[in-house]
A and B are shown apart, each in its own frame.
Chain A
């Protein structure tokens, strides 16, 4: 089961944009809770019955994994948005400070370099912070979990079509890999004996 989205790190004072993002996230969270967790989520947790029990279970799990990808992705997008907004805020502060010191921008190249440096620095500072790293991790793990569930469904279809599955091919590759190692060990032992 994938973890529920976690709170992002507080990187500074509350601004207008923080309020906007928080409201948006609260709204999404409310919809998520009402529209999925209270309804379909409960359905996907029910044990299926009958001949197609196993297939239906895989289908429900794949749907659940795909649905749970949504809030983790949203939380990750929120952090990325915060990076852009904080970088813009810092850029404006820097430009103001430069203007006050009588050092206006020389050209657009300087502006773009200044902005780029700030964005990358804010991005790095944001994602070494553990809460944000956790948000990113939840998203990455949810993607992989969803992918595994999709592959399990695909394997059902491949079985129906009498086609080899990824799991079966992996088994063959593993057997070949182990046999090749065994052959190499035997060859080395033989070479030692011949000496």
Chain B
């Protein structure tokens, strides 16, 4: 690269950026919509809301599917933009889709436990859907931490889940060289982070702090590179809108209830109790071997938050004979927003469920 060329490139980039200011100045925060697919709030439980998306086919698959997202970030990632919406694609493939929105926990919720979320809120949402549809069991799709919740739930309430799908879900938390896990104490325990001290100091763990942790997994890419790359797309209004939509989603992070954070980090990250069959929710012990229903495990091959090996471990511990794995060549977030994945992933889910509709 010659010096003159570098100067010329810099000049072109500057001109492009300046000429794109008009695009930026036209955008307004309230025009950046997420979660555009029509839906209705059908059930409320404290701060938790259960949504039902409006079906778009006359005869949906008779067993509805409930999407259980993580407590980290907002669940509308599955419906971020109209043309790349996992939910919209599932609806068009004939599914009847429900979604749990956990809401924004406040300091009043700091004593909520994993037991309250899994055996409480999640169980009551599932009971509500079962009652409305007069079904003994429904399909459950758990995403990321929500997948871990779904695994625990399916192990404890086997009669209420007909088919289980888990997507980018951590199962083995002691995968070597996984930075997120190491920083959570998978190798050093309290020497990496003293969870009791953190919860005592903060009460609830702030969403901003968690975001900082996630950004610091790839500080250059997440903190610098993506904004430099913005120069390339800033003159394309659609792509710019998509970029800002993603920013809006990433930094819309609810706080984590202190007790939930304490148990999740200590039992799952630090002590890896899920695969040891020693996680306790209330009085009940979670044993993945009790999951005898069909399981579909969806993995992102380039995931740096939930390493593929962490999700793949599920096969060793789950008790079912009907276990399927599908992987996609994207990262964690790419599972929801990649155009290519949104062409292939929803049909995989729909076909897998359709094939099991008539099974007892």
Chain A interface residues (CB < 8 Å from chain B): 3, 104-113, 115-117, 119-120, 123-124, 127-128, 130, 133-134, 136-138, 140-141, 143-145, 147-148, 151, 166, 169-170, 173-174, 176-178, 181
Contact = CB atoms under 8 A, between A and B. Distances in A.
B198 interface: yes
A137 B188 contact: yes
Interface residues of B, number: 38
B131 to A, nearest CB: 13
A20 B234 CA distance: 42
Contacts of A166: 203
Interface stretch (B165-173, B220-228, B351-359): B220-228
Given A116-B224, A170-B203, 14 more contacts: A106-B1, A107-B9, A108-B9, A117-B220, A120-B219, A123-B220, A124-B177, A127-B179, A127-B183, A130-B188, A133-B187, A144-B202, A145-B197, A174-B111
Given A104-B1, A133-B188, A170-B203, A127 B182 contact: yes
A133 B183 contact: yes
Contacts of B188: 130, 133-134, 137
Contacts, number: 104
A133 B220 contact: no
B220 A120 contact: yes
A107 B5 contact: yes
A124 B192 contact: no
Contact of B112 (A108, A128, A170, A177): A177
Given A127-B183, A144-B201, A169-B107, A119 B193 contact: no
B58 interface: no
Interface of B: 1, 5-6, 9-10, 107-108, 110-112, 116, 177-179, 182-183, 185, 187-188, 190-194, 197-198, 200-203, 217-221, 224-225, 228
Contact of A119 (B183, B185, B194, B219): B219
Contact of B108 (A127, A137, A176, A178): A176
Specify the main secondary structure of chain B where it touches its partner: helix
Nearest to A146: B201
Given A141-B193, A176-B108, A112 B225 contact: yes
Contact of A128 (B10, B182, B197, B225): B182
A120 B221 contact: yes
A127 to B, nearest CB: 6
A136 B183 contact: yes
A118 B328 CA distance: 25
Contact of A137 (B192, B217, B225): B192
Given A107-B5, A140-B193, A141-B193, A112 B183 contact: no
